[in-house]
Structure formats: structure tokens, C-alpha cells
A and B are shown apart, each in its own frame.
Chain A
């Protein structure tokens, strides 16, 4: 009986001790800082651009106000490790409003060297698409040859990725490895002149073989001025399951280079470059000869493109106006497979003068000349004059 009383007493008192601990509202409410920022944060960001394009080719000039592209970006920080990012893109295509989902992914920082991402993300195949293409970052109003519509470099994918960086005590190393839904091959049944081209934007994969890729970047100097990178992207199958092209594989690689440095008494020098190469396994395609009879052909399906850009900002100039100016020059080329229906070679020079209103708002004036042989529009020379205004917010 005594024991029982002691037990009841212990439980009884013990309970009040617990109870108080759990209901100690007083200390809670007096000690907290009422306006401590919340750990979850939501930001709407984005960018837009607009301008005037005037392009002359074969003696004909086409001039129009373009752009009015608007790309809102949603950033939702859930905790110090968890972030969600999504970008929508609104553009006018021939009077129709087109809405695109540039990316939408969740990212979780696993530890100091590793972050995992899943969803639709910009691919670190080289650096242009992932880091430099937004209008307020790109120093010229146009993309270099090899990127964009008829580009050979994949720009985004749906899948998972592991990325991160290592501090090597001065030099830095960064990496990314990913797997995404693979590309599809255009077999020519819809557009015979595009047979053999790869198409990267796939919401659903057309076979069970995924694409694998990655990039390694090295910043050899402690001042982070220089980065060299190597990327690959490969897949075993680009054709639909059970189709003739099922087992056609593809292998792409890219080298990228960046150098950005402020020289005292001179200004900022910024050099960027990327080389892309794409090789698709040989396959047999069908075309119609002049009498309308089907004819089989094959070709070495290898293409490449390259660009390099140099820009200079006289940031140390005495004049406030000069400080905000930037001079840019860019060279790019693109070589399609010689024996494809879409064979062609082009070469482009672009020169620009930019005026930076703020760090993310710029007025760009540029002149660009493109020489091509073959290709979609039969080749020739196209000269363009552009005045654009880009703004990030």
C-alpha cells in the first residue's frame, strides 16, 4: 500500500512537472522577438524585354517592334535548405499569346557539397542556357548560333540532378550530374527536310531509356576570375519504342570558358565561350525523289557550334556616362551535318554597345551579320540592327 501511495505521488507530482514544462506559455511569449523574419519566404522576380529589330536579307528589309516578352519567376524558400523555383514565359508569336514553363523544380541542400534538384530545370550543358541567356544577363539582344530554335545544345529537361561545389583552398571545383527524359529523333515522316534532327523538349519520354549528363567546372584561381567546364549528355535511344529508330543513340559534349576580371585603372573584361558537338548514330531515312518515289539515304549525323564573346566596361572612367557603357563583340558559327537535308554552315559576327541603367536593366544597341550556306532558307547574308531594352526585377 505504501508503495502504491509513493507511486501515485511520484506520478502525480511528476505529471505537474511535465505539465508545467509543456504549458510554459509565459516564458515563450515574453522572450520571442515579435518581428523575427519567417523562415519561409516567397519572392516574385523575373525579367522582360522589348525592342526594335530590323533585319535585311537578300536586299529585303523587315523591321518590327518585337519582344514584349515577360517572364515572371517564383521563388519559394521553404527553409534554409529547401527552395522551389519556377519561371513562366509569356511571348507573342504571330498575335497569339504563348505561355511556356521554362522551369519548375524543387531543390534541397543535402550538405555543404551536395544539392539535389527534381522537376524541370535548365540543363548545365555548357553555361549559356543555364547562366547567361536571360535578356538582362545576355550582353547582346540575340543568342549565339547553335542555341535556341534550331540549336544543337539541349536547354532544359525533366528529371533529377545532383550538384554542388568543393572548396580546394583557393581553386574551386563544381559538378552536376543528372538524368532526364531523353530527346526524340525527327524521323522525317512529318518534316522530311528535318530527318535526323534531335528534339529535346519532351514532357513524356518516347522510350524507357533516359538521357544522362553532367558538367564539371574548375575555377583554377583564388580570385574566381576564370572557369573552364566540360559537359556531356548522352542517351542510348532516341527513337520511339519498337520503331526503326529505337536503338539510335546520341552523344553530345561541350566545352565552356569564362573569364571576368576587374583591372584597376582600366575596367572590367568579360570573356565567355562555348563549343558544342552533337553526334547521333547513323540511321536510314527516307526521302522522295523528283518522281515522288521513296528513296533511302543515310548520313554522318554530326553537328557542332561555337561562340566566343568579349565585352569591356570602362568602370574606372572618370565620366559617369562612360562608366555605364559596355562594348561587346561576339563571333559564332554553326555547322550542320554535310549530307543531311538540313545541311548548312553559318557564321555570325555581332557588335553591340550597351548602356547599363542599373545592374539589371540595360539598353542594348547591336549590329549583327550572318553568312550562311545551305540551311533552311537556302543561305545568303542577313544583316540585322537591334535596339533592345531588358529589365530584370
Chain B
């Protein structure tokens, strides 16, 4: 048990370090890349992402259920609770705000 515990703590530290390194070394890539490849691969719309991501745990709320201000709070809450990527939540939030 002691060794498992030690391995685990090391593993957790490693994950944290990798996360820090990766997130600090790639500050501006995702969006640039996303537009770069757009001609080859259709970029998903916020509406489609909403239909896919927001149905995973509970039924997806409709954009009309909340106003823009509330969507910002909920967006941040769900981003963290559901571990969504920044790209997902940015696009979904934009869609929800545009369609309510």
C-alpha cells in the first residue's frame, strides 16, 4: 500500500507538471490551428457542440432558458464541473447567447 501511495502521489505530481508545461507552452495554438484546417475539416458549430456536449450528463437546456448574463455564470460552472475544453465552452456559450 505504501508503494502504491507513493507511486500515486508521483503520478499526480507528474500530471500536474505536464499540464502546466503543456498549457504554458501552447498559449495561442488552438484557434489558429482550428481556422487553418477549416478548409479540410468542417469546424463544428457551437450549436452542434451544444447538442453533443450538454446532453452527456443531463438533458441539454434550451438557449431560451436563461439570459446572457446567466449563461456566462452557467458556462463557467459547467466548464469546470464537466471539465469541458476552452474551445467547447467558448463556442457553446456564444451559440447559447445568440439563440436565446
Contact = CB atoms under 8 A, between A and B. Distances in A.
B55 A260 contact: yes
A43 interface: yes
B73 A41 contact: yes
Interface in B53-69: 53, 55-62, 65, 68-69
Interface in B62-100: 62, 65, 68-70, 72-74, 76-77, 79-88
Interface stretch (A75-83, A150-158, A340-348): A75-83
Contacts, number: 139
B2 A236 contact: yes
A223 B52 contact: yes
Contact of B73 (A77, A164, A213, A359): A77
Interface stretch (A17-25, A93-101, A172-180, A192-200): A172-180
Interface residues of A, number: 61
The interface residues of chain B, by DSSP majority, are classed as helix
- The range of chain B's interface size is 35 or more
A317 to B, nearest CB: 16
Contacts of B82: 131
A260 B59 contact: no
B8 A232 contact: yes
Contact of B83 (A132, A163, A212, A223): A163
Contacts of B4: 234, 251
A224 B56 contact: yes
Interface string A163-187: 1111101001011110000000000
A83 B77 contact: yes
A175 B15 contact: yes
A217 B19 contact: no
A137 interface: yes
B56 A227 contact: yes
Most buried by A among B8, B16, B44, B74: B8
Contacts of A217: 83
The interface residues of chain A, by DSSP majority, are classed as strand
B78 to A, nearest CB: 11
A96 B87 CA distance: 47
A85 interface: yes
Contacts of A110: 23
A214 interface: yes
A77 B49 CA distance: 24
A32 interface: no
A247 B73 CA distance: 44
A48 B80 CA distance: 23
Contacts of A268: 55
B45 interface: no
B70 to A, nearest CB: 6
A250 interface: yes
Contacts of A356: 59
B12 A212 contact: yes
Interface of B: 1-2, 4-5, 8-9, 11-12, 15-16, 19-20, 22-24, 27, 30, 33, 44, 49, 51-53, 55-62, 65, 68-70, 72-74, 76-77, 79-88
* Ranked 5 nearest A-B pairs via Cβ: A174-B83, A113-B23, A249-B1, A359-B59, A112-B86
20 contacts: A37-B68, A41-B72, A75-B73, A77-B72, A83-B73, A83-B76, A111-B24, A112-B85, A117-B80, A130-B81, A165-B84, A166-B85, A172-B88, A174-B83, A212-B5, A234-B1, A236-B1, A251-B8, A260-B56, A262-B51
